Structure 1
Amino acid sequence: MIDKRIASAAEAVSDIPDGASLAVGGFGLSGNPIALIEALLAQGTRELSIVSNNCGVDDWGLGILLQAQRIRKMTSSYVGENKEFERQFLSGELELELTPQGTLAEKLRAGGSGIAAFFTQTGVGTQVAGGGLPRRYDGAGGVAVASPVKDVRVFTVGGSSREYVLEEAITTDFSLVHAAAGDRYGNLVFHKAARNFNPLAAMAGRVCIAQVERLVEPGELDPDSIHLPGVFVHRVVEVGTDIEKRIERRTVAAAEGK
């Protein structure tokens, strides 16, 4: 077995070059690999093409890379919590490939599983299949780059014939993920909602870098509790259990009797 421990987040991302593609775990701000993102920011890497459910917020998560104008393209399913994202997209500074959430998840899973493409009903009859979605604006209100037309075919499933759109899998140069615990062989355990896109992003990266809150010895993790086997993970860096974790919006109920 290979010991995949790395001493620091900075060392873990040190070979990510300008122009690299990355799959990044997280959903909203839950499960963001913030230590790796901050290390990438400090390193100065630019022109990144990032695949992630969203792009954080203006001052946290992937939003800090966006604020520093380090991102060339985002492939995402939700982008509504980041004002700087809106500004860069509408001004033509940022390219966006907007993808339905379930489709994005399956594109990552397929890429990590060696599946080149798949057919889905999601997006049939819309611009997702028919093309024309703005990917980059020209800065003057016009569309400089639009999404292409995709292949649509009819399949009979369960006695019913329906149209399906062809979606290509996603693989990236690197992936950055956050896990609650991991061992030095790269086996990972995620905590509840922070599991989200992290296993899928990990699978899609040719080199997967995982930050873990707690690093343990092989055998300490219950084999039945491992969410992602170490075969998908190449580097593991321990960031501690006190690492900052944010949520986008806190909603609480009034105490009884008040």
Structure 2
Amino acid sequence: MINKNLHATDAAVADVQDGATIMIGGFGPAGQPYALLEALVRHRPRNLTLISNNAGNGDSGLAALLKADCVGKIICSFPRQTDSWIFDDLYRRGRIELELVPQGTLVARIQAAGCGYGGIYTPTGFGTELAAGKETREINGRQYVLEMPLRADFALIEAERGDSWGNLVYRKAARNFGPIMAMAAACTVAEVHFLASPGELDPEAVVTPGIFVQRVVVTDHRTTPLLT
């Protein structure tokens, strides 16, 4: 079996090129791959397209990547929050492009890519500006909008445990977008807090099989504190 464990986050993102499309896991801070994002900031690719749930929190993680002027476009559901001042500033100055996608549609489009579908029909957004220029059709008396799959060159995700084969186990809500993003990217990089030996993980607990993961790196950057 291939050993997918890398010993440094910088090596894990070293081949991310200018103009790449990258999926970033996380529901706000929960499940966000902070260590990989810090490495990406050091690498400094330009004109990235990001696919994520939101547009960053505070000054770290995803927000730091935006602040480093690495991102040309972001596709997300929740670009504005009380602590999204970096995105707000970039957007108001015309320094970043936004594609706003309803959260359910965002999930479905990512899933469509992972499953190999050519697109999905959804009633969400019909009759609004979100449907402008898109194909629509009536199905069983209801109007639907055709949405295209969302694919990426890389997916950066966080998991609680992984093994050198790439099998991943998540912790509670930190799972969020990780499993579907892993399926929709050409190269999935997972940062994990614990590295298990091959065969040590309970197969019943594995959510993302190693076939969808190309690189695993161990970090001590925890975004979801353990309960005591």
Residue 109 of structure 1 aligns to which amino acid in structure 2? Answer: Q
**Which of 139, 151, 160 is equivalent to 1:155?**
139
Hey, what's the Cα distance between the residues in 2 that align with 1:61 and 1:115?
A: 31
The match for 1:245 is 223
1:184-195 alignment, distance < 5 Å: 184-195=164-175
Q: Name the CA shift for 1:246/1:224 in 2 (closer, same or farther; >3 Å).
A: closer
> What is the Cα deviation at residue 217 of structure 1?
1.1
Hey, what's the Cα distance between the residues in 2 that align with 1:239 and 1:199?
A: 19
SS of 2:5 mapped into structure 1: coil
> What is the Cα deviation at residue 58 of structure 1?
3.1
> What is the Cα deviation at residue 246 of structure 1?
6.6
Deviation string, structure 1 residues 135-180 (Cα, Å, up to 9, x no partner): xxxxxxxxxxxxxx11110111xxxx10111000011111100000
- Check conservation: 1:154, 1:164, Cα contact below 8 A: yes
Hey, what's the Cα distance between the residues in 2 that align with 1:230 and 1:245?
A: 23
> What is the Cα deviation at residue 45 of structure 1?
1.5
Deviation string, structure 1 residues 75-118 (Cα, Å, up to 9, x no partner): 00001121121121122110000000010011111111111201
Hey, what's the Cα distance between the residues in 2 that align with 1:114 and 1:62?
A: 28
**Alignment partner of 1:216 is 2:200:** no
Residue 145 of structure 2 aligns to which amino acid in structure 1? Answer: V
Q: Rg: which structure is higher?
A: 1
Hey, what's the Cα distance between the residues in 2 that align with 1:246 and 1:31?
A: 7
The match for 2:104 is 102
Q: CA RMSD in A?
A: 1.3
- Give the gaps of 5 or more residues in structure 1: 132-148, 248-258
The match for 2:93 is 91
The match for 1:178 is 158
The match for 2:24 is 24
Between the two proteins, what is the percent identity of the paired residues?
43
Hey, what's the Cα distance between the residues in 1 that align with 2:189 and 2:222?
A: 19
Hey, what's the Cα distance between the residues in 2 that align with 1:44 and 1:24?
A: 16
Aligned length: 223
> What is the Cα deviation at residue 245 of structure 1?
2.1
Q: Name the CA shift for 1:86/1:246 in 2 (closer, same or farther; >3 Å).
A: farther
- Give the gaps of 5 or more residues in structure 2: none
Q: Taking structure 1 as the reference length, what is the TM-score of the superposition? A: 0.84
Hey, what's the Cα distance between the residues in 2 that align with 1:215 and 1:90?
A: 42
SS of 2:191 mapped into structure 1: strand
> What is the Cα deviation at residue 199 of structure 1?
1.1
- Check conservation: 2:27, 2:54, Cα contact below 8 A: yes
- Check conservation: 2:193, 2:222, Cα contact below 8 A: no
Hey, what's the Cα distance between the residues in 2 that align with 1:100 and 1:66?
A: 21
